Amino acid sequence: MSSAPAPAHKPSHGARLVLIGIGIVLIALAVLGIVKRVHARHVLAEDTDRNAIPIVTAISPKAAPKDQPLMLPGTVASWQDAQVYARTTGYVAKWYVDIGARVKKGQRLADLDTPDVDNQLLQGKAQMRTDQANEAFAKVTADRYSKLAKQGLIAQQTADQYVAQDKADIATVQADEGNVGRLQNMEDFKYIIAPYDGVVTQRNLNIGALVDAGASGSDLFVISDTSKLRIYVDVPESYAASVRIGMPAEVDLNAYGAKPFSGTVARTADALDANTRTLRTEIDVDNAQQLWVPGVYANVKLALSTTTHNYVVPANTLLFRSEGLRVALVTAQQRIHLQPVTLGRDFGSTVEITEGLEDGDRIVLSPADSLYEGQQVHVTQPNQAQQDRIGK
């Protein structure tokens, strides 16, 4: 007799609850792990993106000073220089002054021995006396024949011939007088005289030396008028527009160790030198007491002022690119804009910008060469040390 199969064991209600709880815990742990991994990945992506955006320090440009002293090297020159040449050819017979001598206008500087001119003058005077005697005889003859013609004793044509001869002799005498006058002037030029009051700065002759007439020969003396001095400075192009006639200038002559003295801008070239791009400027200084001499080195300080609204920025904000000078501006959207600018005055650690900036611009301090147009950046404020350098 076969026995019936035993009924299957069914889990109790409590066991089912335990199994359900364990499943819920496993699912919760799985979801929690997934959420943590997603969050970690999101944080990593944010950190990566954040680290990829460069951090820059932005500053605002400062208004450039209207008045700015400019120190320039200058050259001191005499008021006028005269190179004295011989006007007649001869030999040096004697000279009376040497370098450093102060002379007066018309003072004799040297004598020349001019035998050729002397003989020509004697010959010219002798010829003039001969022609004067011929003219006197021709006048007497012309007067006599004119009277005879009026009396009808000779033909009028004969009288006219003698009158014409008299006029020709008069013209010959006048030509002789001109020639003698010219030779007399050449004779007088044997005495070398000073053209004005001044000091002899060069003497280029010796006893017995042959000198030629005119500028083709060497100059005999150089006379300098030092009652006033001209100081020449070359103002750079960026400052040229600020130079005005009559503006004061402070001159310092280091060679004398004296205190700086005042001068006045007397004139400018009113045009820039094409080679140096500078404006030749002349400053006049009174030297009646002969305290200074020409040729020394001078430092000239000009108090220049500008009428334009310019800005001053640190020199380390400039970017030198192949397309030209630029500064990196930060826009309101925290992006880079490479702005072309024009330089003005150079103050050392800072420079003046004459074109390209406006009020409210934010300029990147020490920009990296890798910055490009439209790049996203994070902006920070300058620290105290940077602010101190900017304010200098």
Mean pLDDT (10-residue bins), the chain, 392 residues: 52 71 76 76 62 81 78 91 90 93 94 91 93 91 88 86 91 93 90 93 92 80 92 88 88 78 89 91 89 87 76 89 89 90 82 86 88 88 64 56
Query: How far apart (Å, rounded) are the C-alpha atoms in residues 158 and 142?
Result: 10
Q: What pLDDT score does 98 carry?
A: 94
Q: What is the number of other CB atoms lying within 10 angstroms of the CB of residue 242?
A: 20
18: enclosing H helix or E strand: helix 13-52
Q: Side-chain half-sphere of 37: how many Cα atoms within 13 Å?
A: 6
| pLDDT value, residue 198 | 92
pLDDT for 390: 56
Sign of CA dihedral 95, 97, 100, 102: negative
Q: What is the pLDDT of residue 96?
A: 95
Which is it for strands 378-380 and 55-59: parallel, antiparallel or unpaired?
parallel
pLDDT of 1 reads 46
The residue among 139, 213, 205 whose CA lies nearest residue 171 is 139
> What does the pLDDT look like over 30-49, one tens digit per residue?
777 787 777 777 766 566 55
